[in-house]
Structure 1
Amino acid sequence: MNRFSSFSKFASARRPQPVAEVLGRTDAFAALRAGVEQIAALERDLAQLLPDYLASNVEPGFIKDGTLTLFAAHGALAARLRQVQDRLLSSLQQRGWPVRTLAVKIRLRDVQEPPAPKQARMSPAGAAALQALSRSLPPSPLQAALATMAERHGKSTDQKK
């Protein structure tokens, strides 16, 4: 008998298991699973009922005593959610949700840095072609815009040399 023999019965039980299987084993986990499934179904319905900018920034809570709590990412979204509250409540009821009222609360999220603005880069050949095109056009706003763009891109490629 080696020093690990008493743990061998636990070693075989340590294989990876699907979450659904684990959550179905006990009553407490079964209740948790039902809650998770309810939230997931609510998220799907909210994604269909709300505009994209609202749906991606609103998280549903649990339904308690006929009241569904919705958490908005910030105050402006909460205000907009309150404006569409009656329509949303009616739509949720039509889909079979046992909801009589909605409570809107704010749950602040960390601010995500906006993506860096795109910075177009033009090759020297492209800038030269743009410059030639602007020279071939009669004076007009388009001709002036093309000349300015060609000059700006021509300078940026010259500076890198």
Structure 2
Amino acid sequence: MSRFSSFSKFATPRKPQAVSEVLGRTDAFAALRAGVEQISALERDLAQLLPDYLATNVEPGFIKDGTLTLFAAHSALAARLRQVERRLLDQLQQRGWPVRALTIKVRPRPMAEPPAPKQARMTPAGAAALQALSRTLAPSPLQAALAKMAARHGKPSDEKK
């Protein structure tokens, strides 16, 4: 018997609820929901109005006192955004956005993890062939590189004996 069994007769099982339903319950959540919906609509409009390379690297902020803040991923994109600022502002106003000015700021995105370095895999036969080739060459940078590569990928079978 569970140690919580005495409580189970008082608790009713809860049903999953939609986030939109939960956010609409209180005034604070309703304001949050409205802000999220506004940013989502702005993102959709910016995706339609800007070229792809800009739309994927620009994030809208909130509209405050008629000024919309746009965040660019780096300074070169911010400069390009400033070049199309007047046209973008006009198009946003035509779509009904209460915007009188744009502020463009740079908000760098976190660097993505660099891909893991490639790890070459070589069979013992391949390593043995490299070792044999390096023995036939005169001392040179190529000969040293081949010997080092063969050693790194495993000893040839004749040296294991």
SS at match of 1:97: coil
Residues 29-68 of structure 1 correspond to what in structure 2 (within 5 A)? 29-68=29-68
Q: What are structure 2's unaligned runs of at least 5 residues? A: 116-161
- Against the structure 1 CA distance between its residues 10 and 37, is the aligned structure 2 distance closer, same or farther, given a 3 Å change threshold? farther
Q: What are structure 1's unaligned runs of at least 5 residues? A: 116-161
SS at match of 2:48: helix
Q: How many angstroms does 1:4 deviate by?
A: 4.4
User: Which residue identity is paired with 2:13?
Assistant: S
Q: How many angstroms does 1:9 deviate by?
A: 5.1
- Separation in 1 of the partners of 2:35 and 2:90? 22
TM-score under structure 1 normalisation? 0.64
- Against the structure 1 CA distance between its residues 7 and 113, is the aligned structure 2 distance closer, same or farther, given a 3 Å change threshold? same
**Deviations 1:83-136 (Å, cap 9, x if unpaired)?**
100000000000000000000011110233688xxxxxxxxxxxxxxxxxxxxx
Q: How many angstroms does 1:5 deviate by?
A: 3.8
Q: How many angstroms does 1:57 deviate by?
A: 0.3
- Separation in 1 of the partners of 2:94 and 2:110? 34
- Separation in 1 of the partners of 2:12 and 2:105? 46
- Alignment-derived partner of residue 87 in structure 1: 87
- Alignment-derived partner of residue 99 in structure 2: 99
- Separation in 2 of the partners of 1:30 and 1:60? 20
- Separation in 1 of the partners of 2:99 and 2:70? 12
- Against the structure 1 CA distance between its residues 59 and 99, is the aligned structure 2 distance closer, same or farther, given a 3 Å change threshold? same
- Against the structure 1 CA distance between its residues 30 and 86, is the aligned structure 2 distance closer, same or farther, given a 3 Å change threshold? same
RMSD: 2.2
Residues 11-160 of structure 1 correspond to what in structure 2 (within 5 A)? 12-13=13-14, 15-112=15-112
How many residue pairs were aligned? Answer: 114
- Separation in 1 of the partners of 2:10 and 2:64? 42
User: Which residue identity is paired with 1:94?
Assistant: Q
Q: How many angstroms does 1:12 deviate by?
A: 1.8
- Separation in 1 of the partners of 2:95 and 2:70? 17
Q: Which has the higher helix share?
A: 1
